[in-house]
Amino acid sequence: MKISSFPCMACIQPALLFCLVGLAQQPKPYHNTLPKDITVYHAAVVSANPLATAVGLRILKEGGNAVDAAIAVQLTLAVVYPEAGNIGGGGFTVIHLNSGKNYTIDYREEAPGKAYRDMFLDKQGNADPHLSQDGHLACGVPGTVAGLFAAYKFASLPFRELIEPAIHLARNGFAISAEEAKMLNDTRSDFLKLNTIRPVFVRHIPWKAGDTLIQKDLAHTLELIRDNGSAGFYGGETAKRIVKEMIRGGGMISSKDLLEYAVKWRNPLSFDYKKYVVLTMPLPSSGGIMLEQMLGMLSAYQVGKMGFETPQSVQLMTEIERRCYADRAKFLGDPDFVKVPVKTLVSPEYLRQRMLNYSPGKATPSKDIQAGKINPESEETTQVSVLDSSGNAVSLTYTLNGLYGSRVVVGGAGFLLNNEMDDFSAKPGSPNMFGLVGAEADAIAPHKRMLSSMTPTILLRKNHPFLIVGTPGGATIITSVFQSIVDLLDFHLSLFDAVNKPKFHEQWLPDLIYIEKGFPLQTRKALEKMGYRFKVREAIGRTEAIEVLPDGKIRAVADHRGDDSALGY
Ligand code: DON
């Protein structure tokens, strides 16, 4: 991996010169560039925000490893990317160390101890999305800070150095982008309605690009974490503030919930696809197991020969996606609470059976597809991608769920809380905010973790990182990761195209293929003749990917769909 004989990338890419600074120097909050597609020699980092990416690069250059960089990027995103970066949410991290060892950390939020199965039903017994999505009751017990400290065991720099850039940006402010300004303005009335204390995200005049966002309360909370570790969040002043916020706003998280929260080290989900080992997240994310199902079903066909986004390949991949989402709705949930037939769901025979009613040239309506038949098993149960110069790799996805989560800012503590409770199935068959339906397996129970679609993934070739990939996008996460891998390995697209070409998405219900603008019209028309219905929607995902090229160089691509940026050296 290490290619130290090549010239320093700064000579080749002048836009990166500003990053050649020591850790003592603070991030430049008003000047940043937005490189989206770079080829470098040693290490790379891709994230949703240029300031966070720059912090990651600096950590890498100062001798930090991929885990150091990932932690610093996550903490910076919590400041500069408040709609999804967070300390009040949760997520999953997949780590490959150059020793050959792999780890996955589950720091998903969990239901508060007082949560109960029907807590989001109205008097008529219908699921009320406002209850599960807006405000205090929607908040799960946050996991991010515990996740950061769990990953820290593989880090090499003092934690203080990893958190300092975030504190600096929170205390002194940074210039917001046009996209951020628009989202803050669009969410203004929610912030006003759902908070008990007016947060800094609301001001008397609309935000515009270049305005400075200062978050002093958040800076203070980050200092408490810097000085007290995880206890600076789950105990002491911050925990008291969270509980007070819950009491003021009618939420459920208690000090006991916070004190008892712990990450879960899961066995990494690992399987082969072509010449690669795919390393990804097991349950309670549905992403890994569904990626294994999708690639497993696909490998029975020669999709590469069908061509990229032709009617044949899109039909095949759509029908695969449809069947996997039907399985998700019935079988998948937190494995510590429900028995999930994982072995069967990914077995070649089961996957073959699932495709028996696939008819090339003709749509299978979703009403004709149910979850597969399973015999009981005896036993079973906003993306950051980093690669360092020693071959350590991190792929992580963490979230507040919806845009700015519950939109509740903890009074005096300055951070947003998630609305992850909406990822539970409030009522069998009632769609969540991503249109996903679920059943008993994902019903609410105290301390249970809600099913996720987040799919942070690393592909290894001969036990060395080949691809580090992941994306946000709710239900579409799994299909985006699936398609990025297939685009690269079967259609031989460049990484740039695999990330940026229009994507499509089918999730069983509703019976529609969602497409992005730019999806080939001819393909759409051909599929409509076969009985498929389409809906054009906003961006599908924001994929951040790093690929190790055959000559050992590193290509890093940030999605063109947002302010995402890629840096490296
Ligand atoms: O865990 C999940 O699957 C969702 N809470 C992810 C939310 C998400 O990706 C929002 N971004 N668009």
User: Using H for helix, E for strand and C for coil, what is the string for 120-140?
Assistant: CECCCCCECHHHHHCCHHHCC
E strands within 233-372? Answer: 264-266, 269-273, 276-280
Are the beta carbons of 415 and 409 closer than 8 angstroms? yes
| Tokens representing residue 419 in the block | 């609305």
Residues with Cβ within 8 Å of 509's Cβ and at least 6 positions away in sequence, in order, are 325, 329, 366, 431, 435, 437
What gap in Å lies between CA 265 and CA 107, rounded to an integer?
A: 9
Ligand 1 center to 454 CA (angstroms): 7
Establish whether residue 399 lines the binding site of ligand 1, counting it when its CB lies within 6 angstroms of any ligand atom.
Answer: yes
E strands within 176-267? Answer: 212-213, 264-266
| Pairing, β 393-399 against β 90-96 | antiparallel
Side-chain-side CA neighbours of 246 within 13 Å: the count stands at 22
Rg (CA), the chain: 22
| Tokens representing residue 130 in the block | 């406002």
What gap in Å lies between CA 400 and CA 83, rounded to an integer?
A: 8
Ligand 1 center to 563 CA (angstroms): 18
What gap in Å lies between CA 569 and CA 559, rounded to an integer?
A: 19
Mutate to test the pocket of ligand 1, among 107, 401, 423 (most ligand atoms within 8 A of CB): 401
What gap in Å lies between CA 70 and CA 52, rounded to an integer?
A: 10
What's the confidence (pLDDT) of residue 375? Answer: 65
DSSP designation for 95:
E
E strands within 134-262? Answer: 174-175, 212-213
Establish whether residue 473 lines the binding site of ligand 1, counting it when its CB lies within 6 angstroms of any ligand atom.
Answer: yes
What's the confidence (pLDDT) of residue 193? Answer: 98
State CA 385 to chain mean position distance: 11
Q: What is the 3-state secondary structure (H, E, C) of 359-404?
A: ECCECCCHHHCCCCCCCCCCCCCCCEEEECCCCCEEEEEEECCCCC
Ligand 1 center to 382 CA (angstroms): 8
| Residue 535: C-alpha distances to residues 122, 316, 486, 506 (Å) | 30, 18, 23, 10
* Element housing 484 (H / E): helix 476-489
Phi, psi at 371, each rounded to 5°: -60, 155
| Tokens representing residue 185 in the block | 């303005």
Asked whether the CA dihedral 74, 398, 540, 407 is positive or negative, the reply is negative
Q: Whose CA is nearest to atom 1 of ligand 1?
A: 452
Which residue numbers are catalytic?
Answer: 381
What's the confidence (pLDDT) of residue 58? Answer: 97
DSSP designation for 524:
H
Nearest by Cα to 385 from 476, 457, 480, 306: 457
Task: Ligand 1, residue 477: give the atom nearest the CA.
Answer: 9
What gap in Å lies between CA 314 and CA 505, rounded to an integer?
A: 10
Q: State which amino acid sits at residue 129.
A: P
| Tokens representing residue 337 in the block | 């609470």
- Segments of the chain assigned to CATH 1.10.246.130: 268-380+454-543
What gap in Å lies between CA 100 and CA 464, rounded to an integer?
A: 8
Q: State which amino acid sits at residue 421.
A: M
Residues with Cβ within 8 Å of 343's Cβ and at least 6 positions away in sequence, in order, are 377, 380
Establish whether residue 397 lines the binding site of ligand 1, counting it when its CB lies within 6 angstroms of any ligand atom.
Answer: no
What gap in Å lies between CA 185 and CA 204, rounded to an integer?
A: 11
| Tokens representing residue 13 in the block | 């890419």
| Tokens representing residue 111 in the block | 């239901």
CATH number for the region 268-380+454-543 comes to 1.10.246.130
What's the confidence (pLDDT) of residue 25? Answer: 67
Q: Whose CA is nearest to atom 6 of ligand 1?
A: 474
Establish whether residue 90 lines the binding site of ligand 1, counting it when its CB lies within 6 angstroms of any ligand atom.
Answer: no
Establish whether residue 454 lines the binding site of ligand 1, counting it when its CB lies within 6 angstroms of any ligand atom.
Answer: yes
Ligand 1 center to 351 CA (angstroms): 26
Establish whether residue 89 lines the binding site of ligand 1, counting it when its CB lies within 6 angstroms of any ligand atom.
Answer: no
SS3 label, residue 105: strand
What gap in Å lies between CA 278 and CA 461, rounded to an integer?
A: 9
Establish whether residue 564 lines the binding site of ligand 1, counting it when its CB lies within 6 angstroms of any ligand atom.
Answer: no
Burial pattern 190-224, b for ≥16 Cβ within 10 A else e, equals bbeebbbeebbbbeeeebeeebebebebbbbbbbb
The residue ranges of the chain whose pLDDT is under 70 are 1-25, 375-381
CA dihedral (332, 333, 338, 340) in degrees, to 10, reads 30
Nearest by Cα to 398 from 387, 413, 384: 384
What's the confidence (pLDDT) of residue 48? Answer: 95
Are the beta carbons of 153 and 65 closer than 8 angstroms? no
Q: Hunting for tokens 């800094």 — which residue is that?
A: 200
What's the confidence (pLDDT) of residue 28? Answer: 81
Ligand 1 center to 361 CA (angstroms): 33
Are the beta carbons of 455 and 285 closer than 8 angstroms? yes
Maximum Cα interatomic distance, the chain, rounded to a whole number of Å:
69
DSSP designation for 267:
P
